[in-house]
Amino acid sequence: MSEESRYVSLAEVKKLLSEESEERELSYEQSLALSHAEKFVQLDIDETEELIEELLENYDFMSEYIAFKMADILPTDRDGVKAVFSQDRYTPSNEEIDDIISTIEEYL
């Protein structure tokens, strides 16, 4: 990823677009993104950032992209975690998946 781009969580999207909507009218696409974020964000931005940090620190095999997806989706079963990893080269073991679920559940 270049210096000019970075991953953002859905919680951060919600915060940024909410702040922007106070300043000006959002575009149609931005309004849709804000609506989506408002419906699906479960953690506040600080909790989301903490979860991402914890996932990256505790699981060497987890990419930044996967950590952000985990924090956005918050899967609480094996199938959910496997779905997030489905596009990744690494397939976590059932024990690793259970550990990831335990970490996520600490934030719910």
Inside any domain, residue 96:
yes
Q: Do residues 15 and 36 both lie within one domain?
A: yes
Q: What is the pLDDT of residues 48-90, one digit of tens each?
A: 999 999 999 999 999 999 999 999 999 999 999 999 999 899 9
**Domain with 35 in it:** 10-40
Give phi and psi for 92, each to the nearest 5.
Answer: -70, 150
Q: Do residues 55 and 70 both lie within one domain?
A: yes
| Residue 31: other Cβ atoms inside 10 A | 13
- How many angstroms from the chain centroid is the CA of residue 56? 12
Q: Do residues 66 and 90 both lie within one domain?
A: yes
Q: What percent of the chain has pLDDT above 70?
A: 97
Q: Do residues 66 and 15 both lie within one domain?
A: no
Q: What is the pLDDT of residues 38-57, one digit of tens each?
A: 999 999 999 999 999 999 99
What total number of domains does the chain contain? 2
Inside any domain, residue 1:
no
Q: Which residue has the tokens 């309004």?
A: 31
Q: Do residues 77 and 32 both lie within one domain?
A: no
Q: Do residues 93 and 57 both lie within one domain?
A: yes
Inside any domain, residue 81:
yes
